[in-house]
Amino acid sequence: MNLSILYRGALSSCNYGCGYCPFAKKVETKAEHEHDRVQLDAFVNRVAELSHRTISIFFTPWGEALIHPRYQRAIVALTHMPHVNKVAIQTNLSCSLRWIDNCEVSKLGLWATYHPGETVQDQFVGTCLSLDKMQVRYSVGIVGLKEHFNAITEIRKALHPNVYLWINAYKRVSDYYCESDRRFLESIDPLFSFNNNYHDSIGRACRCGDTVISVDGSGDIRRCHFIPDVVGNLYADNFEGALRATPCTAAKCGCHIGYVHMNDLPLYDVFGAGVLERIPETT
């Protein structure tokens, strides 16, 4: 059975400084980077040992990971493991793309976010066009701030029509969008309404904790990034004994990387094999 692992290690720094970023505000020391590298290498080695399962990996760092060669190397190595069928990562796409030449590119998926205040559109789109030539699967997203609406229109025109452009709803301010805002955003991202919502989740079935888990740098397993209880450790021989289907214990689930795994939402059908990197099956 497939096991999807959402890995979030100790990394918590970024080369960008987005005002809406809830994390990545730290400058890490050399020792902290080294600590992250040691844990990341251990994770890659552990995944190599789990060859009795089909594994999908999704890196969801609290910062930008792909500017660090250790993450590039980890992804290259993971894509070459026969039992790993997908390696996806959230990125601002500011890194060089040379490392991708060493990947098994059919297994790579990029969740790329465009941050208009931190990069220029031509540069970001140029990188996307390079990914097209390299046949890398990727989605592009943007935070749906009203001041981004022009950038949303422009980047939609600039990207290949087959590239899915998702909008993350800005939900920190209640009733932020009026009806015409919603119509505009849904015209760009037909799935916007799923994101512009905190889904009631308590007591409902979710694949997290069973076929999807969150793992931190020390190997501690949580069912997802949003429920803090540790249910096991990836480095324990019997960690799979702790994996089982249980109802969600959180009141609401409002982040794509969580609610996409809820059993009674139709999103596994929508995204299919692109569920981690947020690429609908139809693109």
Nearer to ligand SF4, 104 or 210 (CB): 210
Contact yes or no for 256/168 (Cβ under 8 A) = yes
Q: Facing residues of 110 across strands?
A: 89, 138
DSSP string of 27-39, one letter each residue? PPPHHHHHHHHHH
Contacts 24+ apart (CB under 8 A), 268-274: 270/191, 273/86, 274/109, 274/137, 274/139
Please, which of residues 59-78 interact with ligand SF4 by CB under 6 A? 63-64
Tokens of 78: 């993971």
- Alpha-carbon distance of 136 to 40, in angstroms, equals 23
**Measured distance between the N- and C-terminal CA atoms of the chain, rounded to whole angstroms:** 26
DSSP for 232-250, written as a single string: EETTSTTGGGG----B--S
* Binding flag, residue 17, ligand SF4 (CB under 6 A): yes
The CB-of-144 to ligand SF4 minimum distance in angstroms stands at 14
Nearest approach in angstroms of CB 227 to ligand SF4 is 5
| Token duo for residue 129 | 């066009």
Amino acid code (one letter) for 251 = A
Q: Tell me whether residue 10 or residue 81 sits nearer to ligand SF4 (CB atom).
A: 10
> Quick one: which segment of 14-22, 51-59, 169-177, 233-241 binds ligand SF4 (CB under 6 A)?
14-22
Nearer to ligand SF4, 47 or 89 (CB): 89
Site string for ligand SF4, 20-59 (x = CB under 6 A): -x--x-----------------------------------
Instruction: Give the binding range for ligand SF4 (CB under 6 A) out of 11-19, 48-56, 168-176, 268-276.
Output: 11-19
Q: Extract the tokens encoding 144.
A: 């749906």
Q: Could you tell me if 193 and 183 are in contact, meaning their C-beta atoms sit under 8 angstroms apart? A: no
Q: CA angle at residue 68 from 64 to 71, to 5 degrees?
A: 85
Cβ 83 to ligand SF4, closest distance in Å? Answer: 24
Among residues 37, 86, 107, 261, the one that binds ligand SF4 under rule CB under 6 A: 261
Q: Which amino acid is at 23?
A: F
Sites for ligand SF4 among residues 203-232 (CB under 6 A): 206, 208, 223-224, 226-227
- CB-nearer residue toward ligand SF4: 183 or 198: 198
Secondary structure class of 14 (helix, strand, coil) = coil
Binding ligand SF4 (rule: CB under 6 A), the pick from 55, 95, 125, 253 is 253
Q: Which residues bind ligand SF4 (CB under 6 A)?
A: 14, 16-18, 21, 24, 63-64, 92, 115, 201, 206, 208, 223-224, 226-227, 248, 250, 253, 258-259, 261-262
